[in-house]
Structure 1
Amino acid sequence: MSRTPISRAAVIGAGSMGSGIAAHLANAGLDVLLLDVPGPPGDRDAPARAGVERQLQRRGFMLPEFAGRITVGNIEDDMAAIGDAEWIIEVVFEDRDVKAQTYRAIARHRNPAALVSSNTSTIPLAELTAGMDEEMLPFFAVTHFFNPPRIMRLLELVAGPETSAETEARLRHICEVQLGKVVIDCRDTPGFIANRIGTFWMAAGAMTALRTGINPELADAVFSRPFGVPRTGVFGLFDYIGLQLLDPIWGGLLQDLPDTDALHRFDVTDDPTFRQLVDAGCHAGTGFYNRDGEVFSDGGYLARRPVEDPAAQARTAREVLDTDSPGGHFGRAVFLETLRYCCETAPEIADTVDQIDAAMRLGYGWKKGPFQVADDIGPEHLISLYGSAGETAPALLVAAARAGGFHPYPGAVLDSHGEVVAPRAREGVLTPAQIVADARLLLDNGDATVHLRADGVAVLTLHTPASSCSSGVFAAVRELAGLGSARAAVIVSPLEGIFSAGADLSALAKASTSGDLARVRELLQEGATAFAQLREAPFPVVAAVRGTALGGGLEFVQHCDAAVLEAEARLGFPERHVGLFPGFGGTVRTLERMTRNGVDNPVRSAFDLILSARPTAGAHEAAARGLLLDQDHIIMSADHVIAEALALAHRLADGYRPPQPRPLTLHPADAEPLVWEGGTETDQAIAGALATLYTGGTVTPEELGEREVELAAQLLVRPENAARVEHMRRTRRPLGN
């Protein structure tokens, strides 16, 4: 299979979805041709240009300047330009005739080797390819993105009988590695996987509530947080998607599915309440709830009612199912219907149950898929609930009970017929557990572990809540830095979406509220010393940054030789909200990096960035602000970060020399003082201390680090600042005192 990255793509259709896909391709570094229907005379490219403007407004671009990678045009004047594209994506209106016409035009102009795909979510691939140019068939597949394309990681890939294996493999590689998607192979069935299951769950939830007199507030409170479902619940999700899509999505599926499919028992398109809202012109954002905070009930809008049902107070799905109340009965009925549908539909739509779980996590925002939730509840308990309702349990659930669960043990899942199999491995993906598999454990202090792999790479894994930087973590850092047998090192967090959320606030809060300056100084010095030792290690250290790196987490990254970061990683210093500024060497490394990167007025830039307390919108913004180094790598896929960090560590190990400290130039003492506008008196105290730190002549990084610890410690014992630390520890929210 060719793994050469593509560099040029064309998107036909500049609506919300097409322009979003084009923006995400541009985020990935591709040059994109975006075509739409012609506009008025004199501005025939206006529709496509409007698509780009829409994405700028919706933040579809990781940096606004990435919009410059898109060339706009129209399908009448510019279709020949698709001949330069290596991948052509059709995102036109969901009409079979319109798509067929588009494919005929593509066939006339495409490069014979170009990949072609459709973003359809409702039309079977077999219908799309009927009458298609035979030379294009081996290069054609469905690549179903989810909206918004920048944010939603799921991509459903559907290959037809005439799609070549090379095309399928190339599309999977491009979408996973270049675009950062999680690709799920789907069969050519109505709704594929995510929408087949997701639309059923929504329909079953809404119709069960409407038929049993459960109001939307209660339904959404019950079938949300306890099940790991977004807080919109069912009715809120209908509003978010938009009731104008009721007939195209649910109506289309009902038309394509046989009468025996269970979705017909929950026909939302024929329900009077849904029809009233659709006929009233409700679109995305309104419907069962309006913008005045009211809820639709009995033909009109009323003030929301308090939710007092005990099921709404449940913390887990099992607690909901076991609650004897109207809300509990509703939650039990909806989950049992959904699980039965998943079990009975699985053989038709998926090879293994984890495909369905992944589709619901990534496509509908569930924290766990339906089969994972079933494992948490317990297959035997669910079988008993079906029995109590006078129903026979689904065969796949019975098989799960025999096997020990739908996911019976790590590295095993049930296939859609109930056999235990290994899940499909994804190319280039390395998990925190896999990177240390078969490695030698050198240290485990509860907060962190250090392993040494057979290839000489040491791995430090964080195990604290939110991967925070505790005393145990600093002890592990010192252990790692002192290894004489390591060739390189990688720092990882097992948490998805968090590299490290910063310092351990418990110890800091206790010391600062007691006013113990010596103890506060000791805690800050502990972190600063450990990170300094990490920076001086005799081998390269690479941070594998998946998700946020805030405060001490960003300081951790800054003391590594390099980092591999997912593009959506958010980096920043929220310390002002906690009553101080970075105290583990962050002020030093930020100034050092900005100076090295040639940032205009690096002292002022570092000063403003630290006091803003605002994380970057992604890794690209962090690079643009001078926070990253030339050897840092930004990649689109969070799932490929660890493997790439390991590879980078090996590359840096050849001929490695620890970085040599360079003197830093501070803000001149005789110049106009550094001042930060705004904020409270406490904010100004922090700004004043940081200005003092950053003012002077030329200093060594070590000297600046010593001043950083002392000034930060003095800040933290101020009662107002100590109150911020304690409030953040207790509430995880800033105190604006």
Structure 2
Amino acid sequence: MAISKVCVIGSGVMGSGIAAHVANAGVPVLLLDIVKDGPDRSAIARGAIDRMLKADPAPFMSSAAAKLVTPGNLEDDLAQIAECDWIIEAVVENLDIKKTLYEKLEGVRKPGSIVSSNTSTMPLAILTAGRSEGFQRDFLITHFFNPPRYLRLLELVAGPKTRADAVAEIDAFADYKLGKGVVRCKDTPGFIANRIGTYWIQAAVNEAMDLGLSVEAADALASKPMGIPKTGVFGLIDLVGLDLMPLIAKSMAMTLPKGDDFLRISRTPPLFQKMIAEGFTGRKGKGGFYRLNEKRQKLAIDLKAGDYHPAGKVKLEAIERAGRSLKVLATDASTEGEYVKRVLVQTLGYVASLVPEISDDITAVDEAMRLGYNWTYGPFELIDQLGADWLAEQLGDKAPAILKQASGGFYKVDGGTLHALALDGSYKPVVRKDGVLLLADVKRAGKPLLKNGSAALWDIGDGVVCFEFTAKMNSLDGDVLKLLGETVAFVQMKGLKGLVVYNEGSNFTVGANLGLALFAANIALWPAIEELVAGGQAAYKALKYAPFPVVGAPANMALGGGCEILLHCDHVQAHAESYIGLVEVGVGIIPGWGGCKELLARQFAEKRRPQGPMPPIAKVFETISTAQVSRSAALAKELGYLRASDGITMNRDRLLADAKAAVLEMAKNYTPPAPPEFRLPGPTAKVAMDMAVDGFRQQGKATPHDETVSKKLSTVLSGGDTDVTEILSEDDLLTLERTAFMQLAKTPQTLARMEHMLSTGKPLRN
């Protein structure tokens, strides 16, 4: 049975978020909750949808997705459940309420429809006790993580009677449609991620208090140095809510087996009880371990005194000494090193003791923590960084037996293939799902075809190659442009089928290397800067007109020059979470690598646009001058950064394979695009745009330098000294871009913006 309609019951934060994400996949959703007294009996579910439309981060990827969610209530609309193929229960964690609901579902759902619970605290066996054989065959647990749109983990738990095809169908739907990394879990307390995550949080909090560390110092250590998100531990508690911590601990205590180490370390300090009582529960309350004062200054709580002080960035010498070595940090002879050692030894020792209780597969455990808690490395990957023998030595008599088996590491590469330690002590190849192609696997198995300090070219099979950015934050520089030119010649010379531009970094690219540009500007190397601009224009133009298809495959941020390279690709296969934009005005310049020209050409080609040259020009002017960034791939289509025909992949692990498939399909009958021609109004259009900027300036919505930058942009988009009777070529527009870029780059205000962005990460409003 294909899943063509879904019902979510319970419109709280989790239930509504799940409904929104199913709608993001283009699937209609019925969102039900209890009846609300009054004229709108479905007001609770409807209110949840309204809140999500205003929420930030947004649960919906587009307004079109929101229209796929239909609100209802459990009395008037219960019969509509019969239309649904998958029914997701996301009500409060109360067994009696769940059982009453399941009894109602038995009477209305259609045969074969799949029912699942989003619980993470109740065993499946208890949930299905007393239900019919048919219900038990169709029932499983699907544990989403909050927020469902952004956290990729889905823990899937089947019961002894759950039919295999129901499990397979939900697995496939969650994988392909929802973009989830599906981890099959055993029916144990907290499953995998929360079992480990709850222990880690408790251990990290305990040791910070025992060692007298500040919350800032603890978060500086229990974050990037350990491969954990920058929230750290106290920031994470603020995010999820301090008031939830005692409830989670109580739930775990009720379900964990006797003697579990979490029961030993679990505690709620008096300070935490006081904070909860006074409403300092985190971001949803008055603040938590961190809060803002009336001047919007960030404060942090003193874990001993209980009062707040200004929170500043902490610079810890132990982190500086360790560099990138976790082992060096964990063995540093300082309080900070001792903290890292204690947290890691306890947490990783606990994880090692849970196999095979929670999973027979260490890769599943690592996957759960990477996708559910956004750890860069899973627990067993962290053990490999420290050494299993070292960890066993720290644990002494408490060391789990699996650590002795892993003296050679939990992972190793053999014959170019990644292998993982199995429970029998052997190493088995890590097998990817069908249709998953990872560049990391390609790189283990071979060497690059071309390479320099900022980019590399890889053979991904079937006559297709992959161009990868490799500089810090995948920034773009002269080396990237140089290798891009060499790549076009190489693919043509070898007679290959096509090219994918893709990488597996945190972001596709944050754009041009601003530090290099600022350095050159500060010593007045203007010819070098102009050469870089011209080089980028030439490289991107060569890519656009190459005699083979080029597919861009971005994920996360694709800004500035990263957006421009996508604009020059024949096709873009974007991950759903792609944040694409031309943001150059924030640093006082305009797009200089063809971004203005390409966006303008797309707007003129838009068949549904109003007649005349001004509407497309005005649209592009608004997009670039306000530095609009799409908050999803779907919104990138609305902004014109992606075409209607460009593809969207929900699961990032499938992005490279989808992009490669697009190349192979296009290669069957490929011809390069025809060069665009432009008929632009010239000064008359520029006057109209400049008048709009003057208005914003007078209203205080634009700064003096905003006005300067926008008026250079209006010169480019209007075509300069021309009129609609003249035909401008692509090169004419590129010359206008380059000229305006260089004029702005030489202004003190632009240099100030660049310097401010590099030092603070925020735009300067000068």
Question: What is the TM-score with the length of structure 1 in the denominator?
Answer: 0.92
Determine if the alignment matches structure 1 residue 705 to structure 2 residue 734: yes
Q: 1:680 to 1:146 in 2, by over 3 A?
A: same
Partner of 1:24: 21
Partner of 1:56: 53
Cα distance in 1 for partners of 2:513, 2:210 equals 50
**Residue aligned with 1:712, SS:** helix
Cα distance in 2 for partners of 1:712, 1:454 equals 40
Contact 2:282 / 2:289 at 8 angstroms: preserved in 1?
no
How far apart are residue 708 of structure 1 and its match? Answer: 1.6
Determine if the alignment matches structure 1 residue 493 to structure 2 residue 502: yes
Cα distance in 2 for partners of 1:48, 1:179 equals 22
Contact 1:321 / 1:332 at 8 angstroms: preserved in 2?
yes
Partner of 1:44: 41
Determine if the alignment matches structure 1 residue 528 to structure 2 residue 529: no
Select the residue among 478, 483, 489 that pairs with 1:476.
483
Counterpart AA for 1:159: A
Partner of 2:296: none
Determine if the alignment matches structure 1 residue 185 to structure 2 residue 179: no
1:347-496 correspondence runs (5 A): 347-386=356-395, 391-401=397-407, 403-406=408-411, 411-415=418-422, 418-434=425-441, 442-452=449-459, 455-482=462-489, 483-486=492-495, 488-496=497-505
Percent identical across equivalent pairs? 37
Cα distance in 1 for partners of 2:736, 2:755 equals 24
How far apart are residue 334 of structure 1 and its match? Answer: 2.1
How far apart are residue 259 of structure 1 and its match? Answer: 2.0
How far apart are residue 75 of structure 1 and its match? Answer: 0.7
Select the residue among 674, 680, 692 that pairs with 1:660.
674
Counterpart AA for 2:38: P
How far apart are residue 521 of structure 1 and its match? Answer: 2.3
How far apart are residue 203 of structure 1 and its match? Answer: 1.8
Cα distance in 2 for partners of 1:508, 1:215 equals 38
Partner of 1:684: 707
**Residue aligned with 2:355, SS:** helix
How far apart are residue 143 of structure 1 and its match? Answer: 0.7
Determine if the alignment matches structure 1 residue 338 to structure 2 residue 361: no
How far apart are residue 254 of structure 1 and its match? Answer: 0.7
Partner of 1:586: 595
Q: 1:239 to 1:469 in 2, by over 3 A?
A: closer
Counterpart AA for 1:582: P
Select the residue among 520, 544, 554 that pairs with 1:545.
554
How far apart are residue 586 of structure 1 and its match? Answer: 0.8
Cα distance in 2 for partners of 1:273, 1:735 equals 40
Contact 2:83 / 2:110 at 8 angstroms: preserved in 1?
yes
Contact 2:387 / 2:409 at 8 angstroms: preserved in 1?
no
Cα distance in 2 for partners of 1:485, 1:591 equals 34
How far apart are residue 142 of structure 1 and its match? Answer: 0.8
Select the residue among 659, 674, 693 that pairs with 2:689.
674
1:340-361 superposed Cα distances (whole Å, 9 cap, x missing partner): 1001012100122232222222
Cα distance in 1 for partners of 2:229, 2:587 equals 29
Cα distance in 2 for partners of 1:379, 1:699 equals 66
Counterpart AA for 2:625: L
Partner of 1:156: 155
Counterpart AA for 2:427: V
Counterpart AA for 2:655: V
Select the residue among 715, 722, 729 that pairs with 2:744.
715
How far apart are residue 9 of structure 1 and its match? Answer: 0.8
Q: 1:392 to 1:95 in 2, by over 3 A?
A: closer
Cα distance in 2 for partners of 1:670, 1:229 equals 54
Q: 1:229 to 1:444 in 2, by over 3 A?
A: closer
Counterpart AA for 1:473: V
Contact 1:513 / 1:717 at 8 angstroms: preserved in 2?
no
Q: 1:61 to 1:707 in 2, by over 3 A?
A: same
Cα distance in 2 for partners of 1:230, 1:452 equals 32
**Residue aligned with 2:635, SS:** helix
Cα distance in 2 for partners of 1:407, 1:98 equals 48
Contact 1:728 / 1:735 at 8 angstroms: preserved in 2?
yes
Cα distance in 1 for partners of 2:584, 2:636 equals 17
Determine if the alignment matches structure 1 residue 503 to structure 2 residue 509: no
* Greater mean alpha carbon deviation, residues 428-437 or residues 615-624: 428-437
Determine if the alignment matches structure 1 residue 258 to structure 2 residue 257: yes
Q: 1:267 to 1:514 in 2, by over 3 A?
A: closer
* Greater mean alpha carbon deviation, residues 636-645 or residues 595-604: 595-604
Select the residue among 322, 326, 331 that pairs with 1:322.
331
Contact 1:141 / 1:163 at 8 angstroms: preserved in 2?
yes
Cα distance in 1 for partners of 2:444, 2:233 equals 41
1:243-254 correspondence runs (5 A): 243-254=242-253
How far apart are residue 539 of structure 1 and its match? Answer: 1.7
1:707-731 superposed Cα distances (whole Å, 9 cap, x missing partner): 2223222322334434544554566
Cα distance in 2 for partners of 1:476, 1:298 equals 56
Cα distance in 2 for partners of 1:208, 1:563 equals 48
Question: What is the TM-score with the length of structure 2 in the denominator?
Answer: 0.89
Counterpart AA for 1:169: A
Contact 1:509 / 1:729 at 8 angstroms: preserved in 2?
no
Cα distance in 2 for partners of 1:688, 1:10 equals 51
Partner of 2:127: 128
Partner of 1:83: 82
Cα distance in 2 for partners of 1:704, 1:187 equals 60
Cα distance in 1 for partners of 2:473, 2:291 equals 36
**Residue aligned with 1:328, SS:** helix
How far apart are residue 406 of structure 1 and its match? Answer: 4.6
Q: 1:320 to 1:145 in 2, by over 3 A?
A: same
1:636-695 superposed Cα distances (whole Å, 9 cap, x missing partner): 222211111111111112222211123223244235432233444333322222111122
Cα distance in 2 for partners of 1:449, 1:216 equals 41
Cα distance in 2 for partners of 1:303, 1:549 equals 37
Contact 1:310 / 1:325 at 8 angstroms: preserved in 2?
no
**Residue aligned with 2:640, SS:** coil
* Greater mean alpha carbon deviation, residues 720-729 or residues 426-435: 720-729
Partner of 2:168: 169
Counterpart AA for 1:145: F
**Residue aligned with 1:412, SS:** strand
Contact 1:460 / 1:489 at 8 angstroms: preserved in 2?
no
**Residue aligned with 1:674, SS:** helix
Cα distance in 2 for partners of 1:453, 1:361 equals 25
**Residue aligned with 2:194, SS:** helix
1:476-496 superposed Cα distances (whole Å, 9 cap, x missing partner): 322333315445323333333
Give the count of matched residue pairs. 729
Cα distance in 1 for partners of 2:703, 2:292 equals 33
Counterpart AA for 1:444: K
CA RMSD of aligned residues (A): 2.7
* Greater mean alpha carbon deviation, residues 482-491 or residues 555-564: 482-491
Counterpart AA for 1:590: L
Partner of 1:117: 116
**Residue aligned with 1:349, SS:** coil
**Residue aligned with 1:497, SS:** coil
Counterpart AA for 2:138: F
Q: 1:473 to 1:328 in 2, by over 3 A?
A: closer
Contact 1:220 / 1:231 at 8 angstroms: preserved in 2?
yes
Counterpart AA for 1:105: K
Partner of 1:608: 622
Select the residue among 13, 20, 28 that pairs with 2:10.
13
**Residue aligned with 1:268, SS:** coil
Where structure 1 has 5 or more consecutive residues not aligned to the other structure, the ranges are none
Contact 1:554 / 1:573 at 8 angstroms: preserved in 2?
yes
